[in-house]
Amino acid sequence: MNKTDTALMKLVARVGEIGFSLAVEHLVEVVQLDVGDIDATDVDGSGPELGTFLFRDQPLVLVDLGQAFVLKTADIEAEVPVLVMSGEQGLWGAVVGSVEGVYPESSFTTRDLPISLICTGQKLYSQLDIWRGEPLVCLEPYKIDRYRHAGSL
């Protein structure tokens, strides 16, 4: 598979029963993170930031994707899957409940959210993917990272 082929793929992940899609061009890596590797020293627990973790010897911010989307937060007991993504300020990680797999973009139908939904406060995503008859939230890592840096998550 060449670079062009992988750019036309999407990852499907879940937080609880809610599905998310992510264009693999925004994905750096999926890692299994041990709960003991999360440094929560500078976190007050009031938002979705869980702390930091080392990725390739660099500390990255770790976000609970469920809490960011006002869903049930991830149960972090031993190991959790983390999506390492690129954002406006560099790399960051998002805890998800599970990763289902990577699929061709052609198996998804992307739909824009109605402007009325976007204008009423929800600003973390603007599209849904329909995949196998199921709506998935299209992850927009740059947008989530921007809101995180602004303290708006």
Give domain limits for the chain.
3-149
What is the distance, to the nearest Å, from the Cα of residue 94 to the centroid of all Cα atoms in its chain? 5
With contact defined as beta carbons under 8 Å apart, do 60 and 92 qualify?
A: yes
Structure tokens at 32: 């299994």
CA-wise closest residue to 33 among 12, 8, 64, 66:
64
Digit-by-digit pLDDT tens for the chain (153 residues) are 555 455 689 999 999 889 999 999 999 999 999 989 999 888 877 778 899 999 999 999 999 998 888 886 655 668 899 999 998 889 999 999 999 999 999 999 999 987 765 555 557 888 999 999 999 999 999 888 888 877 776
Structure tokens at 46: 């009031």
State which H helix or E strand residue 5 sits in. Answer: helix 3-7
Structure tokens at 85: 């993504």
DSSP 65: H
Say what the pLDDT of residue 30 is. 98
Domain 3-149, what architecture?
Beta Barrel (2.40)
- How far, in Å, CA of 28 to CA of 52, rounded? 17
Say what the pLDDT of residue 18 is. 93
Say what the pLDDT of residue 34 is. 92
Q: How many CB atoms lie within 10 A of CB 102?
A: 14
Say what the pLDDT of residue 113 is. 80
This prediction has a pTM of 0.88
C-alpha dihedral sign at 144, 25, 77, 56: negative
**Angle subtended at Cα 11 by Cα 67 and Cα 143, rounded to the nearest 5 degrees:** 50
With contact defined as beta carbons under 8 Å apart, do 21 and 66 qualify?
A: no
